[in-house]
């Protein structure tokens, strides 16, 4: 997190879940650094992070893990990893099977934070009362992308719950 100029988010607590997408983390050959970095940033912005979990790369694994994360949940579900161009980087494809409505403005805002953002294929969208955001696997990149949209997340969650009168 950059610290200076970090977004101020509503003081009311909102719920979040973090899902790391990585064959290496699942095999125990790589340390999960992205998930904990995202969870720590979310907590500083007022989220109650319910859990951090991991699943394998691949569209079927991502779809199943996201369905489990969103089922009966109202809040933010963030993925980190699997958004690049590797053969098993299929997080966006698995995510598209779960989201009911895409939110391209959020995905584009996250991509615009730095030149490397153009290399992420991550999507954003809603599933029931969940906002789903795909972040890159790099801890710094994931937090930087999340920082680009975090200021609107509480409002999106209120809209999804029908709490705004719109």
Length of the chain: 166
4 is a domain residue = no
3 is a domain residue = no
Angle at 142 between CA 138 and CA 145, to 5 degrees: 135
77 is a domain residue = yes
143 is a domain residue = yes
For residue 25, the enclosing domain spans 14-160
76 is a domain residue = yes
pLDDT bucket at 2, cuts 50 / 70 / 90: very low
Q: Has residue 3 got a pLDDT over 80?
A: no
Please state the pTM of the whole predicted model.
0.92
154 is a domain residue = yes
Q: Which residues pair with 133 in a beta bridge?
A: 78, 124
CATH number reported for the structural domain that contains residue 68 in this entry = 3.40.980.10
Q: Has residue 9 got a pLDDT over 80?
A: no
41 is a domain residue = yes
Q: Structural domain tally of the chain?
A: 1
Positive/negative CA dihedral, 41, 44, 46, 50? positive
Span 15-36, mean pLDDT?
Answer: 97
Percent of the chain's residues with pLDDT above 90: 87
105 is a domain residue = yes
Q: Which residues pair with 126 in a beta bridge?
A: 101, 131
Span 24-48, mean pLDDT?
Answer: 97
Distance of CA 87 to the CA centre of its chain: 21
């Amino acid at each position: 997190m950059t610290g200076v100029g970090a977004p101020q988010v509503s003081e009311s607590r909102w719920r979040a879940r973090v899902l790391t997408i990585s064959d290496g983390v699942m095999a125990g050959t790589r340390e999960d650094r992205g998930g904990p970095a995202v969870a720590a940033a979310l907590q500083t912005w007022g989220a109650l992070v319910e859990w951090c979990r991991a699943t394998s790369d691949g569209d079927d694994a991502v779809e199943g893990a996201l369905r489990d994360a969103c089922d009966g949940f109202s809040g933010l579900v963030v993925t980190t990893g699997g958004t690049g161009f590797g053969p098993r980087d299929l997080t966006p494809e698995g995510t598209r099977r779960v989201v009911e409505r895409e939110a391209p403005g959020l995905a584009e805002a996250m991509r615009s934070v730095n030149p490397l953002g153009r290399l992420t294929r991550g999507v954003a969208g809603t599933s029931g009362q969940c906002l789903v955001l795909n972040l890159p696997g790099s801890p710094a990149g994931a937090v930087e992308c999340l920082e680009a949209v975090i200021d609107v997340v509480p409002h999106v969650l209120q809209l999804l719950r029908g709490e705004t009168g719109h």
